[in-house]
Amino acid sequence: MTRRVLSVASECVPLLKTGGLADVVGALPKALAEHGWHMRVLMPAYPGLATRLGKRPKALWQDADLFGGPAKVLGGRVEGLDMLLLDAPHLYDRPGGPYGGPGGDHADNDLRFAALSWAAAEIARNGLADGWTPDVLHAHDWQAGFAPAYLRYGPETAVKTVITVHNIAFQGNTGAERLEALRLPRAQFTAKGLEYYGHLSSLKAALVTADAITTVSPTYARELMRPEFGMGLQGVIGQRANDVSGILNGVDTEVWSPEADPAIHAYSAKKLGAKKTNRAALIDEFGLGYFEGPLAVLVSRLTTQKGIDLIPGALSEFTWRGGALIVLGSGDPVLEAAMRREAELNPTRIAVRIGYDEALSHRMFAGGDAVLVPSRFEPCGLTQMYGLRYGTVPVVAATGGLNDTVIDASPAALAAGVATGIKFAPTDALGLAQALRRLADLYADKRTWARIQRNGMKAPVDWAQSSGQYAALYASLAP
Ligand code: ADP
């Protein structure tokens, strides 16, 4: 018998993506279908998205007053996904990105995403016009965080709830005076309930009301209970330790496969030769000079979370030893400027492209020798897994999902023939510089290097294992 899950999130590939969250939300329905779970994804109908549902999308749910205006949910299929778009023009029909514009975040984001959560809870409790009702509501991150709370604090329901924390840094904080506007019961504004340091947090609301809590790697699940990583929520999560699990994200191997990637010259673990063609093309594209060391690439938001500020202090020995670096990303203007400056200082070895460019990212993963991920914290991380698939050896900080997906090239791992990359700790400039030194050494040893590349390409980074873990979790909640 097919069971049903309503997945609720603020972004989903292929409709809208600002980060890894969208990749995961878009990949889960396909992965779970194989385990007998039918998943529909509810997200806001940002401008232009409803047209993607086809000519006459069906209205499957409506509300005359969803937090200040009329709203409906439109259903349709997009590239194999069963999408539900919450069409509420007073909340979502505005210029800019999903969360804000050049002037900063939208001032009413608490309301915009409380509305998404409200609609989700109503659909979970009462079903859609086509008769579909879920067994499980799966909320992603703070934007969907009030959904489990609305279900918990409203009329009794059999629907079970899961909250997945993709990044604890984003908590959906807002003022306590917003309780009534957000349709939350004042009686629950207690330390065990909705109250969060005198304020409200939609993520905390989910952490205390959802039936199960997951995050996107086993290491991050443990880290979240510690003050260095929990960002104020460590106590809340620690109290629910028995309900917390870490399930690694997977990679969509239809999109990320060096054998079948239309953006690159194809190659495989058996025939690594064409990787050199990609490398030469990439070096050419960025106008780098001749160098004999490894070509490192980095594709990332440029933020301190990602450790971008550590790079300038860690590069000199690496480039002196023949290494080169290409960076693609955007984010904090100070870090963008710092990266540009590195490229100006050493234009034959360091190149930087500020911006977001999916096709270029594919060429970089194919053409690079190594991918850098020096994050201070990283719930799961995707680019190290793309690196594994593409034989582009990951050099990562030993934190979160980076720790769980890469096997460090320690003497023991090299002797056993299982190493897939380089891990370093602590996450500081010295740690990164030493990791880059190890990278240069390993790269110089061609046989060992090829072994590490091939090990990585064989590593299981698809959804096979993780989708089974989600299915098992759902089944444990709604047997
Ligand atoms: P996060 O979600 O914290 O940004 P992840 O590693 O989980 O980090 O996911 C980031 C995703 O966004 C990856 O798919 C990565 O390739 C992609 N990405 C990040 N920056 C860029 C960019 N400038 N151009 C293209 N893709 C990017």
State the pLDDT at residue 424: 98
The DSSP bridge partners found for residue 136 are: 5, 160
Those residues whose C-beta lies under 8 Å from the C-beta of residue 150, and which sit 6 or more positions away, are: 117, 118, 121, 122, 183
422 pocket-lining for ligand 1 (C-beta < 6 Å): no
Residues 165 and 280 in one domain: no
Cβ count near 451 (within 10 Å): 18
406 Cβ contact partners less than 8 Å away, ≥ 6 residues apart: 384, 388, 394, 396, 420, 421, 422, 423
CA distance 77 to 72: 17
Residue 2 is predicted with a pLDDT of 80
* Residuewise pLDDT in 10s, the chain (479 residues): 689 999 999 999 999 999 889 999 999 999 999 999 999 999 999 999 999 999 899 999 999 999 999 999 999 999 999 999 999 999 999 999 999 988 899 999 999 999 999 999 999 999 999 999 999 999 999 999 999 999 999 999 999 999 999 999 999 999 999 999 999 999 999 999 999 999 999 999 999 999 999 999 999 999 999 999 999 999 999 999 999 999 999 998 888 999 999 999 999 999 999 999 999 999 999 999 999 999 999 999 999 999 999 999 999 999 999 999 999 999 999 999 999 999 999 999 999 999 999 999 999 999 999 999 999 999 999 999 999 999 999 999 999 999 999 999 999 999 999 999 999 999 999 999 999 999 999 999 999 999 999 999 999 999 999 999 999 999 999 99
Cα-atom radius of gyration of the chain, to the nearest Å? 23
CB neighbour list of residue 297: distance below 8 Å, 6 or more residues apart: 282, 325, 326, 327, 328, 364, 365, 367, 368, 370, 371, 372, 392
218 and 305 in a single domain? The answer is no
- In a domain, residue 267? The reply is no
Number of domains into which the chain is organized: 2
Domain limits for position 81: 3-250+464-477
**Do 298 and 243 share a structural domain?**
no
Q: Which residue has its alpha carbon closest to ligand 1 atom 16?
A: 383
Is 45 in the same domain as 132?
A: yes
- In degrees, to the nearest 5, what angle opens at C-alpha 180 toward C-alphas 44 and 88? 20
Is-contact 243 211, C-beta < 8 A? yes
Q: Ligand 1: which atom is nearest the Cα of residue 330?
A: 23
Is the beta carbon of 17 within 6 A of some atom in ligand 1? no
The verdict on the CB of residue 19 being under 6 Å from ligand 1 is yes
Give the span between the Cα atoms of 242 and 163, in whole angstroms: 14
The answer, yes or no, to whether any atom of ligand 1 lies below 6 A from the CB of 461, is: no
DSSP-derived 3-state class of residue 2? coil
Residue whose entry in the numeric block shows the structure tokens 């409790």: 125
Helix H or strand E segment including 386: helix 383-389
Q: Give a yes or no: residue 266 inside a domain.
A: no
Q: How many CA atoms lie within 13 A of 423 on its CB side?
A: 18
Residue 254: per-residue pLDDT: 87
Nearest CA to ligand 1 atom 24: 356
Phi and psi torsions of 123, nearest 5°: -65, -40
In short, whether 202's Cβ falls inside 6 Å of ligand 1 is no
In a domain, 422, yes or no: yes
Asked if 230 and 302 sit in the same domain, the reply is: no
301 lines ligand 1 (CB under 6 A): yes
What's the confidence (pLDDT) of residue 34?
94
Q: Is 190 exposed, middle or buried (0-12, 13-18, 19+ CB in 10 A)?
A: exposed
Q: What pLDDT score was predicted for residue 102?
A: 87
Same domain, 281 and 229: no
How far apart are alpha carbons 23 and 7 in whole angstroms?
13
Query: Ligand 1 pocket check: which of 299, 304, 326 to mutate, most ligand atoms within 8 Å of Cβ?
Result: 299
**By three-state DSSP, how is residue 1 classified?**
coil
Angle at 416 between CA 410 and CA 422, to 5 degrees: 30
Tell me: do 240 and 385 sit in the same domain: no
Is 259 a member of any domain?
no
Q: What is the C-alpha separation between 390 and 155, in angstroms, rounded?
A: 50
Q: Which residue's CA is minimally distant from atom 22 of ligand 1?
A: 356
Could you tell me the CATH number of the domain that includes residue 311? 3.40.50.2000
Please classify residue 322 by burial: count the beta carbons closer than 10 Å to its beta carbon, then call 0-12 exposed, 13-18 middle and 19+ buried. Answer: middle
In this structure, the residue with its CA closest to atom 19 of ligand 1 is 300
> Are 370 and 439 contained in the same domain?
yes
Cα–chain center distance at 406: 17
Residue-level pLDDT at 19: 87
pTM: 0.94
Q: How far is the CA of 298 from the centre of ligand 1 (A)?
A: 10
Question: Ligand 1 pocket, 402 CB below 6 A?
Answer: no
User: What pLDDT, on a 0 to 100 scale, did the predictor assign at position 439?
Assistant: 98
